[in-house]
Amino acid sequence: MLVYTIYSKRKTITVRIDGKSSDYVTYKNSVKELLASKSITLGTKDKINVPLDSKLNNDQVINIKKAVNVNLEYDGKYLEIKSSDDDVASLLKNEGISVNSQDKLFPDRSTKVTEGLKIKIVRVTSKTFSKTKSIDYKKITKKNKKLLRSVKKILQRGKAGKRKIVTQIVYEDGKKVSSKVVSNKIVKKPKSTIVVLGTRKPTPKPSTPTFSRGGISMAYRNVLTMRATAYSGGVGTYTASGRRAVRNSGGYSTIAVDPSIIPYGTRLYIQGYGFAIAADTGSAIRGNKIDVYFNSYREACHWGVKYIRVYVLK
């Protein structure tokens, strides 16, 4: 009966430390007694899958995960801690260390915790600053041909506009690392200066144009550039206007014109010919053409064809 009692207390226990298994035959009643008998100590950060005061059962498996040394740097602190957590995320949670969404974490949360792992948290913060900048106004000049050149009118006086610029500055562990403009808006549009300038020339006082002949100034109404040919006729030749055809080098000679351009009776001065009166016409005399009269055919041939100035006298 005694042998049976002792045999019934005999148990086979598997202790697995960091994945390495050892099998033990024991007569101990609790987990704590077994670990002590095998000189297995647990640190404060070590993990075990069963309570230490729980009773042992035959063929039981006890899992132990030993804490490893981890270097932790954050908020200006440099700490060496022990952890038996599976990954960085669990370690930070169990240590009560918060990491904001904008913070930088090295390595990332899913990294497995191993001996000598270095974890660094960079705190990222940002601030925004706004400033108002003046916008220069433009000057618009408009021309008005109805106003005299000397006239200048200000239709609208200019006013400067305003621009609001918002800049975001990013800090890592309190040090500035970047700066960028996140908003650039016109909050008040500038108002242009509008100036009207006259372009009309002053109306000149009427003056009578003149040309000089023999040192004497002659007044004229108009001057034409015309094609001049010549013709001749005998004594007693009459013009289309009823005048007698004459060549008077000291007075007025008769010439043929296009009456629609130079009416009959118009007094003229013809360059290289002298004074004349519009008295005749011809089928070939149309537009800016004239036909000057000479007493002889020879003189007419000598004249030939010329382009000359014809002054219409007053």
CB-CB contact of 187 with 173 (8 Å): no
Across the chain, mean pLDDT equals 91
Q: Are 299 and 287 in contact (CB under 8 A)?
A: no
How much of the chain exceeds pLDDT 70, in percent?
94
The CA distance from 267 to 278, in Å, is: 7
Q: Range of 7's domain? A: 2-65
Count of domains in the chain?
A: 4
Residue 220 lies in a domain: yes
User: Residue 7 has what pLDDT?
Assistant: 56
pLDDT over threshold 90, residue 205:
no
Query: For position 236, what pLDDT does the model report?
Result: 79
Radius of gyration of the chain (CA): 60
Is residue 205 in some structural domain? Answer: no
**Strand duo 274-280 + 193-200: pairing:** unpaired
CA distance 104 to 113: 18
Whether 12 has a pLDDT exceeding 70, the answer reads yes
Confidence tier at 207 by pLDDT (50, 70, 90): low
Digit-coded pLDDT (tens) for 253-285: 999 999 999 999 999 999 999 999 999 999 999
Q: What CATH number is attached to the domain comprising 17?
A: 3.10.20.30
**Is 112 in the same domain as 132?**
no
From 158, 174, 200, give the residue that closes a domain. Answer: 200
- Decide which of 170, 200, 230 is a domain's last residue: 200
Q: Are residues 9 and 99 in the same domain?
A: no
Indicate the pLDDT class of residue 206, thresholds 50, 70 and 90.
low
0.85 exceeded by the pTM?
no
